[in-house]
Structure formats: C-alpha cells, structure tokens
Amino acid sequence: MALTFDNGFISPRAVENIYTVCGNLGADLLVVRPNPKMLHAIFRTAAKQELYSMKTLERASTICTSCIGLIKNLVLRTAIEKEIPFVGFGWSPGQAPVQASVMKTNPALMQQALQAIYKPLHQIAGDAINPYFLGGSHSTNPEKFPHNVHPLAFLPYDEETIIERIKTLGWVKPDDTDPNSSNCLLNAYANHIHRQRYSFHPYVWEIANMVREGVMTRVEGLEKIEQPELQHMVEYSRNILQNS
C-alpha cells in the first residue's frame, strides 16, 4: 500500500505520477488531504518563526520539518492501525545513514520524537492535528509497531538509473518543481526562507554526504544548492499562504 500526504502543494504532474505508477504496480493507494486552512496556518507560522531545535535546522527548513513530521507520524499511525509490519521510506543516502536504514520502532522511541514535532504544531493548530499523531491506545500494543526501512541507504544509488526505471512505470518528470524536489511546489519557498534566515541551503548537509559517498559529483551537488530559487515559484507559495 502506498500512502500520499497531500499538503496542498503537490505538483499536478506528480499527482498524475502517483496514480499512474501505483496503478501499474497494482498497489493500493491511500491519499490523506488535511484541511488546507490548518496546513496553511502551520506553514505560514513556520515561515515567520522557528519551531524546532537548531540541530534540526541543519538538515531541513522549518516548513519542510513541519510537513515531514506530520507525514512520518501519520505513516506510523496508519501502519499500526492496519497492522503493517514494514514501512518503506525513499530517503536518499544523504538523508538516512546506513546504520539507521533498518530500525524497529517502539512506543518509547516514537514518543520522544513525536513530542518534538507535536508540541509546536499543537500550539498552532490545536487538537486538529491529533488524527495525524499517535494516541494513547496505540502505545499499548508495542508488538504492532513496524520496522522502518530506508532501502536507498544501503542499495546502489544512482539517480539517473532510478529515473529510467520509474519511467517504465509511467513516471514523467514534473517541470514545475525546484531542483531539489520532484513533487512539491512549496519547496522553493521553504528553501528561500531558510537561506534568507541562515545563509545556507537546507539541502547542503545531505548533498554533501552524497558527494562524499560518491553517489553524486561535486558539480552536480553545487548545481542543486547554488542556483537561486525561481522567483515565480517562491511567490506562488507565498501568495497562497499570505492570502489564505
């Protein structure tokens, strides 16, 4: 089963890709689309102020951390409720260290990680975010907690090879996203805010790791982090959040 979290900023082409590839793979697809007003309030606040530790911000922008925090907790809750034993994530080698590529989750570990995301988001959206996080009843069944698996951390990684493979399943590269995303129209704005605030690109950590591991050349890495975000993409997201 594939799970898609619709944050309201998915590229139309990416949406087509999701349905096409899942259909060609014969995979069930669950799409969760939270109330846009709630998500806009979270993203708008994240664009104005920090919600997380400085260590977290070395790896991702505040906007992206908020979004992926909702996604990871929703995925965990869904796996427990549907008794799914393994959850696969598509983190690149720069995002997921090999030593953490296969990990058995448990209530204590997840509760600690949950609070770092839940508390700031709850202050913004209140109880409306509760359906996307674990409740007390979930922790009473630790045997139902899944293994998280990050295959790209330990399998041979080559972006061009991956793209050629998924093209055979009907995937088409979107032409409306920034160089560091294949699906999200909000990413350019999130990167822009992060660079204004800290003077470094939020993807520099993972890209540097990929260059060191030899899965990306230095030139390719610099292309992804040195070019400025396209202004029309930044304004697209900014206008939606400011006027919602």
Can you tell me the distance from the alpha carbon of 92 to that of 210, in angstroms, rounded to the nearest whole number? Answer: 8
Q: Where are the beta strands (DSSP E) in 12-118?
A: 29-32, 86-88, 102-104
What is the pTM (predicted TM-score) of this model?
A: 0.92
Is 61 in a helix, a strand, or coil? Answer: coil
What is the residue-level pLDDT of the chain in tens, covering all 244 positions? 999 999 999 999 999 999 999 999 999 999 999 999 999 999 999 999 999 988 888 889 999 999 999 999 999 999 999 999 999 998 888 787 788 889 999 988 888 778 889 999 999 999 999 999 998 888 888 999 999 999 988 888 888 999 999 999 999 999 999 888 999 999 999 999 999 999 999 999 889 988 988 888 999 999 988 888 999 999 999 999 999 8
Task: Give the number of domains in the chain.
Answer: 1
Range of the domain at 148: 2-242
* 124, 42 contact by CB (below 8 A): yes
